[in-house]
Amino acid sequence: MIAIIDYGMGNLRSVQKGFEKVGHNAVVTSDPETIMGASHVVLPGVGAFLDCMRNLEEKGLLDIVPKVINSGRPFLGICLGLQLLFTESEEFGIHKGLDIIKGRVVRFDFSALSPQPSALKVPHVGWNTVAVKKRPPALEGIDEGAYFYFVHSYYVVPEDEKVVATTTAYGVEFASSIWKDNLFATQFHPEKSQEKGLRILKNFGDITG
C-alpha cells in the first residue's frame, strides 16, 4: 500500500488518482501508524514552505518523514514535498526544513541576466523538459528531454551534486529531481504530467524491497 501524507496542503486526491490509474492502491492519510505501516510513502505539497512545516509539526508528522526514509522504504517527494527535504528555504525569510538533504531552496532571480529575458516569468508555470543525469528506478523508460509540468517560484540547490537525477533549464539550470538511495523527489508534478508522469508513478509503485 502507498501512503500519501496528508498535512493539509497539496493536490492529494490528484496524486491518489494518478496511482489508481496505473494500478497501485494509495491512501491519503495523516495517521502516523498507517504511514509507518505502508510499503511506499509519498510527500506531496503545494503552498508556502513555512506553512507546510508548521502543518507537519501540528499534525505530529515532523519526525515521520525521516523515520520512513531511514527505514529504507521507497519515498517520493513532489514539488514542495521535494523542497521540504532540504536544510532551509529562503521563502519569506530563512526557514528550517527537514534537513534530510543538505542544501537550500532559493527563488528564481533573473535580474543578473543580460539582457533580461522577458519571456521568463516567476512563478515558472507550464511544460518543460528534463535532462537525465542519472536514472533511478522511478525514471525507467523516461526519455531524455521528456516534458513534465511545473508550478513553482523556488528551486532546490543541493550541496552534493551527486544527488541530482534530472535538471531543467529556466533562466538557470536547476535540479528538477533528486535521488538518494530509497528517496526520489521531483520539482515537477508527475500527477499532472500525463503519460510520462504516470509512468513515474507506476515505476515508483513497482519498486520492491
DSSP 12-48: HHHHHHHHHHTT--EEEE--HHHHHH-SEEEE---S-
Residue of 24, 40, 152, 191 marked catalytic? 191
Residue of 40, 124, 152, 189 marked catalytic? 189
Asked if 95 is an active-site residue, the reply is no
Asked if 79 is an active-site residue, the reply is yes
Asked if 91 is an active-site residue, the reply is no
Omega within 30 of 0 (cis) for the link into 66:
no
Residue of 24, 40, 52, 79 marked catalytic? 79
Q: Are 154 and 107 in contact (CB under 8 A)?
A: yes
* 167 three-state secondary structure: strand
Bridging pattern class, strands 154-158 and 131-132: unpaired
Q: What is the largest CA-CA distance in the chain?
A: 53
Bridging pattern class, strands 154-158 and 124-129: unpaired
Q: Are 64 and 173 in contact (CB under 8 A)?
A: no
**Enzyme catalytic residues:** 79, 189, 191
